[in-house]
Amino acid sequence: MNRRAMILGSLVSAAAKPQAKDGGGAARERVSEAERGFASTMARRDHAAFTSCLSDEAVFLGNGAQPALRGKRAVAEGWKKFFDAPTPPFSWGPEVVEVLDSGNLALSSGPVRNPQGEVIARFTSIWRLDADGRWRVIFDRGCPACRCG
């Protein structure tokens, strides 16, 4: 086999292999930072900043009795009531963060705490890396905390 054919074969072989992007530790840290920033909007009572973390396509799932909020505007309007009081009614933060190897989609999950610091629920959010380089929430769901044991 001549040298040109070997080089061409190597290039074709390399191009055919899936190329991992950034689903590793650095990506997980960026999503963790995005989640903590999202949570800080509640602590700072900054509804506009909260809204900026939402994808235009965001879907926040209801608790069964309430329907899902679909779209950035509906989610922002539905969550406005949580920003009205001078102190936040709850807080949250990530415990688990995973990012696809493509580096474009992530999951974060963790506890939701009342003002006294007690765990009252758990959240799960799905984040997407948008074209502008910002992570935004596309799906979110909270579930009551398990009182097992």
Q: What is the CATH number of the domain that holds 134?
A: 3.10.450.50
Looking at residue 22, its pLDDT comes to 62
Q: How many CB atoms lie within 10 A of CB 123?
A: 20
User: Cα dihedral angle (33, 35, 38, 42), rounded to 10 degrees?
Assistant: -110
Domain that holds residue 126: 21-144
Q: pLDDT tens-digit profile of 36-65?
A: 999 999 999 999 999 999 999 999 998 777
In a domain, 104, yes or no: yes
Phi, psi angles (nearest 5°) of residue 141: -150, 135
Q: What is the CA radius of gyration of the chain?
A: 20
In a domain, 12, yes or no: no
In a domain, 15, yes or no: no
In a domain, 25, yes or no: yes
Q: Enter the tokens of residue 128.
A: 């997407």
Q: Report percent pLDDT > 90 for the chain.
A: 75
In a domain, 133, yes or no: yes
Q: pLDDT tens-digit profile of 122-138?
A: 999 999 999 999 999 99
Question: How many folded domains does the chain comprise?
Answer: 1
In a domain, 149, yes or no: no
In a domain, 43, yes or no: yes
In a domain, 2, yes or no: no
